[in-house]
Amino acid sequence: MYVVVQHTILDPETAFSRGRALMSGSGAPDGTRVLQFYPHVGGSAVTCLWETESVGDVQRFVDTTLGNSSTNLCYEVDADRAFADRPLGLRPSPAPVAHPGLSGTS
């Protein structure tokens, strides 16, 4: 499933420092990884898209990692009605893309 997280940043310096663990996946629950990261130009908010097995896994991971540096609203994406296209000018994710069940060999 896909989960969106809307972060309201209360302490930008701390949140972005701690957020490196979210972006790298360090300590993430199995099957959970961030796919997209959209920070506000002023640093007061961030929206992220996650791939995961449960909303609760993402909520616990971001709340534990970011602590009191942000408040985090997590919700499941309605995949039947959602759409996406990669906007021009955004770079690919620095995190490796791995798809469970695909070995990459034939």
Q: What residue ranges do the domains of the chain occupy?
A: 2-76
Q: What average pLDDT does range 6-28 have in this prediction? A: 95
Evaluate if residue 106 carries a pLDDT over 50.
no
Helix, strand or coil, per DSSP, at residue 3: strand
Where does the pLDDT of residue 95 fall: very low under 50, low under 70, confident under 90, or very high at 90 and above? low
Helix, strand or coil, per DSSP, at residue 76: strand
Q: What average pLDDT does range 40-50 have in this prediction? A: 96
What is the average pLDDT value for the chain, to the nearest integer? 88
Q: Which two tokens stand for residue 57?
A: 């896994």
Where does the pLDDT of residue 84 fall: very low under 50, low under 70, confident under 90, or very high at 90 and above? confident
**Helix count and strand count (H, E) for the chain:** 2, 4
d(C-alpha 102, C-alpha 4), whole Å: 24
Q: Which two tokens stand for residue 74?
A: 């997590």
Helix, strand or coil, per DSSP, at residue 56: helix
Looking at domain 2-76, its CATH architecture is 2-Layer Sandwich (3.30)
Q: What average pLDDT does range 39-60 have in this prediction? A: 96
